Amino acid sequence: MENVNINTSTSSSNLTIALVGNPNVGKSTVFNSLTGLNQHTGNWTGKTVTCAEGFYTYQNQQYRLIDLPGVYSLATHSPEEEVTRDFICFEKPHAIIVVCDATCLERNLNLVLQILELSKQVVLCVNLIDEAHKKKITIALDKLSSLLGIPVVATCAKKTTGLNELISQIHQLTHATFNSSPLKLQYPKPIEEALHQLIPLLKMLPNCTLPLRFFALKLLENDATFLSYLSELTCLSSYNSGLILESITLCQSQLSAQNISLDTLIDLITTTYIQTAEKIASEVVSYNESLTYDRDRLIDRFLIGKYTRFPIMLLLFSLILWLTIIGANYPSDLLFNFFAWLERPLTQLLLTIHTPNFILQLLVQGGYRVLTWVVSVMLPPMAIFFPLFTLLEDVGYLPRIAFNLDYPFKKCHACGKQALTMCMGLGCNAVGVEGCRIIDSPREQLIALLTNSFMPCNGRFPTLILLINLFFITQTFSFSSSVLSTLWLLLAIILSLVLTFLISWLLSKTLLKGLHSSFTLELPPYRKPQILQTLIRSLLDRTLNVLRRAIIMAFPTGLIIWLLANMTYHNQTLLHSLTTFLDPFASLFGLDGVILTAFILGIPANEIIFPIIIMTYMASGSLMTLDQSYEIKLLLVQNGWTLMTAICTFIFFLVHWPCSTTLLTIHKETKSLKWTLIAFLLPTITGLLICLIINQLSHFFNFF
């Protein structure tokens, strides 16, 4: 793009531009193209809704661009809709960009018409125009602009096509060089008559900044937000709101006399939007029926087909898991070697400044080794899994996963969107918990939060794969063993999926009773993924964010582990005393005291559980690893491990309490110690119960 400069200034001279649109219309691509790297994300005060804010400069004018959540309407059935509507109403942006999908304009126009009730300073960005051309869809942009009474710009944001014209139109709107006259919707006659009674009274209100027709509609709908706003306006002045409230009651009575109840009123207003959108789209959109969506329908015949949907899902996840497993080995080794090399100069530096030996070992062999172990094991799988996962999202496959799993989740009285958060949990449970924000129902959101840790995150994969290779397959580490490991891991994930369904159903019948809610699920067209942006977004928004929280917990935990392994009481280390104390209890579940102690000390990060087991068996006093798999298996067998021990450890590693990062995220999302504790206990009790049953049955029937 030309004439657009990235500027980091946040001065009061910035003009605020709101970016609005349905999900899957390329709104974030428009945002990223305009703001570049000069952006950040955060949550609105009092909400769990993520927003993004960025800056750009055009013709020496600084613009602050706010990327509002993707919504289908402003009916405020969800936190995202409420945030978007309230920002436009009360924050009064200087202009609004509404992004639409050129391939399904009619559906998107519903939101456009609602926003035109709120502001005259609107530019319609018809994005994905290249995809519309491929599907032989033609849009008469000039006629669309004339019908809506606002500027209309065709763009292909991923190629930056049309973005110069878009920001030019924004500049004209905000500098009063373009006078728009938006379309005024005509509601059914009884509603128009009620508006004519209310609007003159609202005009008399001092300091009212809302569009009067929209304000009057919301008062007729008894919208609590706008009734409260009316009360604030009258409290700040001598104006009496009684007359307006009486007029509202009178108008509602008149509507009721014409068989228009409150619900019917809302339906009639919505119908007006839909019918107007249909009429406009029929006049400006033309397409070749025989060519439209043929490709997508052919692909969907397999991806969401009755008999093929689940096999293809399993195949795709197997491929992602295999790529993660294979791809993470080499960078993990590089990181291990780098941190091992860095330990020497770090130790020398501490010796140079005369650090006492006790403090030196505590910091280096304790905090540093645990911290670097977490980074080495955690970073490479996340850096591979999250981009692959995001690519599925960009291509358009993730909504189809939700579609495929909606029916079984509905049977559990949960939400189909939980499938998406569950998939995120495979990368990191903390990210999966944050992803539960997409679920509108508070009850179903809690179910998703509480069960997300039943899905094994990538922090558990290395140990699960190691146990598989040591005890469940006989091949050495090779291509064939990696494939077999992936299949075993896939079976483990299927078990986790079954447990997620079961626990979701139990929660919906006990602690979180309620009906299954409905939700709008859009199956977007398949698109070519934006690989570079996907890598950057996955790295910054997910990988590094989760890694930061894990690092915060890893270093102090390393100090605690070292102290337990090196401080003695009655000629025994505290760590040995703890494992001895826990051993009788752990044996009930097919484990031993060392394994259970490692799980407890490994709460900050699943990655350090197995190294703690090795350290304790070797009585080394600091975190260690063995280079050869046969050395690890020999060490385990010498310390009493059997196939039964491996099975129970594998099961408990698959299903146990969430890591501290996930628990902190759960508390942040729920703001409740009660639900955080339940999220801790649910997988813990489930995992212990399964291990208890398997272990006792093996003793009873003399298995293993």
Query: Do 486 and 417 belong together in one domain?
Result: yes
CA atoms within 13 A on the CB side of 96: 28
Question: Any idea what the Cα angle at residue 433 is, between residues 427 and 435, rounded to 5°?
Answer: 80
Distances (CA, A) of 606 to 457, 464, 534, 600: 9, 11, 27, 10
Res 293 pLDDT > 70: no
The pair of three-digit structure tokens given for residue 524, joined into one six-digit string: 């977007």
Range name among 31-35, 94-98, 161-165, 229-233 with the lowest pLDDT average:
229-233
Residues 157 and 30 in one domain: yes
Integer angstrom CA distances of residue 307 from 299, 311, 318, 596:
14, 8, 18, 42
Mean pLDDT of 248-274: 89
Written as six digits, the tokens of 262 are 């409150």
User: How much is the pTM?
Assistant: 0.67
Does 234 lie in the same domain as 161? Answer: no
**Nearest-CA neighbor of 22 among 401, 436, 522, 537?**
522
Tell me the pLDDT band of 624, cut-offs 50, 70 and 90.
Answer: low
Paired sense of beta strands 50-58 and 39-43, if any: antiparallel
| Contact yes or no for 562/366 (Cβ under 8 A) | yes
Predicted confidence (pLDDT) per residue in 637-677, tens digit? 988 899 899 999 999 999 999 988 899 889 988 889 999 99
In a domain, 597, yes or no: yes
Q: Which of 128, 149, 174 is the last residue of a domain?
A: 174
Residue at 72 is within a domain: yes
Reduced DSSP (H G I as helix, E B as strand, rest coil) percent helix, strand, coil of the chain, to 5: 65, 10, 25
Query: CB of 105 within 8 A of CB of 286?
Result: no
User: Which of 174, 203, 234 delimits the end of a domain?
Assistant: 174
- For the packed helices 479-509 and 673-701, what is the interaxial angle rounded to 10 degrees? 120
Quote the CA–CA distance of 325 and 463 in Å, as a whole number: 11
Angle in degrees, 0-180, between the axes of helices 574-587 and 593-601, rounded to the nearest 10: 110
556, 636: one domain: yes
Of the chain, the percentage scoring pLDDT greater than 70 comes to 87
For the chain, what is the total number of helices (H) and then of strands (E)? Answer: 30, 12
Q: How confident is the model at residue 54 (pLDDT cuts 50, 70, 90)?
A: confident
Residue 570 lies in a domain: yes
Q: Is the pLDDT of residue 8 over 50?
A: no
Place of tokens 């068996």: 617
* The pair of three-digit structure tokens given for residue 557, joined into one six-digit string: 């935990």
pLDDT at 127 over 50: yes
| Statement to judge: residues 463 and 425 lie in one domain | yes
Q: What is the pLDDT of residue 309?
A: 87
Q: Are 603 and 660 in contact (CB under 8 A)?
A: yes
Kindly report the CA angle at 436 between 430 and 441, in degrees rounded to 5?
A: 155
The tokens 């005509």 sit on which residue?
186
Encode 436-490 in three state secondary structure: HHHCCCHHHHHHHHHHHHHCCCCCCHHHHHHHHHHHHCCCCCCHHHHHHHHHHHH
| Per-residue CA distances from 562 to 362, 371, 635 (Å) | 6, 12, 21
Amino acid identity of 178?
F
Contacts of 581 (CB under 8 A, 6+ apart): 593
CB-count burial class (<10 Å; 0-12, 13-18, 19+) for 574:
middle
The verdict on 489 and 529 lying in the same domain is yes
Average pLDDT on 331-356 reads 88
Verify that 543 and 517 share a domain, yes or no. Answer: yes
- Asked if 513 contacts 384 with a C-beta cutoff of 8 angstroms, the reply is no
Whether residue 594 is contained in a domain is answered as yes
Supply the pLDDT for residue 11: 43
Q: What is the CATH number of the domain that holds 39?
A: 3.40.50.300
pLDDT for 209? 79
pLDDT of residue 454: 93
Range of the domain at 416: 309-701
Q: Are residues 204 and 346 in the same domain?
A: no
CA atoms within 13 A on the CB side of 611: 26
- At residue 156, φ and ψ (nearest 5 deg) are -130, 90
Mean pLDDT, rounded, for 208-236: 82
* Token output for 185: 């919707």
CA distance 583 to 567: 20
Residue 65 has which token pair? 């661009």
What pLDDT is stored for residue 550 in this prediction? 63
- CA quadruple 230, 231, 236, 239: dihedral positive or negative? positive
Which among 443, 448, 450 has a CA at the least distance from the CA of 423?
448
Mean pLDDT of 246-255: 88
Residue 115 lies in a domain: yes
Which pLDDT score, from 0 to 100, does residue 95 have?
92
Rounded (10°) CA dihedral 233, 239, 245, 250: -140
- pLDDT tens per residue across span 537-583: 666 666 666 667 667 777 887 888 888 888 888 788 888 889 999 99
Separation of alpha carbons 304 and 495, rounded Å: 22
Q: Are 123 and 162 in contact (CB under 8 A)?
A: no
DSSP string spanning 586-602?
HHTTT--HHHHHHHHHT
Rounded CA-CA distance 196/208 in Å is 17
Domain annotation covers residue 106: yes
Domain co-membership, 136 together with 218: no
pLDDT for the residue numbered 45:
41
Residue at token pair 């006990």: 510
pLDDT tens for 424-469 read 887 788 888 988 887 877 888 899 999 999 998 877 877 887 788 7
Q: Is residue 90 within 8 Å of 118, Cβ to Cβ? A: no
Cα dihedral angle (282, 287, 290, 294), rounded to 10 degrees? Answer: -100
Residues 405/314, Cβ–Cβ less than 8 Å = no
Q: Which of 260, 284, 317 is the last residue of a domain?
A: 260
In a domain, residue 611? The reply is yes
Distance (Å, whole) CA 684 – CA 678 = 10
The predicted structure's pLDDT at residue 623: 64
> Which residue intervals of 204-261 are DSSP H helices?
212-220, 224-235, 242-257
Tell me how far CA of residue 367 lies from CA of 1, 336, 343, 551, in angstroms.
48, 15, 12, 10
What average pLDDT does the structure give for the chain?
A: 82
The domain tally of the chain equals 3
In this structure, the answer to whether residues 221 and 78 fall within a common structural domain is no
Residue 283 lies in a domain: no
The conformation of residue 23, written as its DSSP 8-state character, comes to T
556 and 586 in a single domain? The answer is yes
| Spatial separation of the C-alpha atoms in residues 380 and 387, rounded to whole Å | 11
Burial tier of 348 (Cβ tally within 10 Å: 0-12, 13-18, 19+): exposed
> Same domain, yes or no, for 550 and 697?
yes
Question: Which pLDDT score, from 0 to 100, does residue 7 have?
Answer: 43
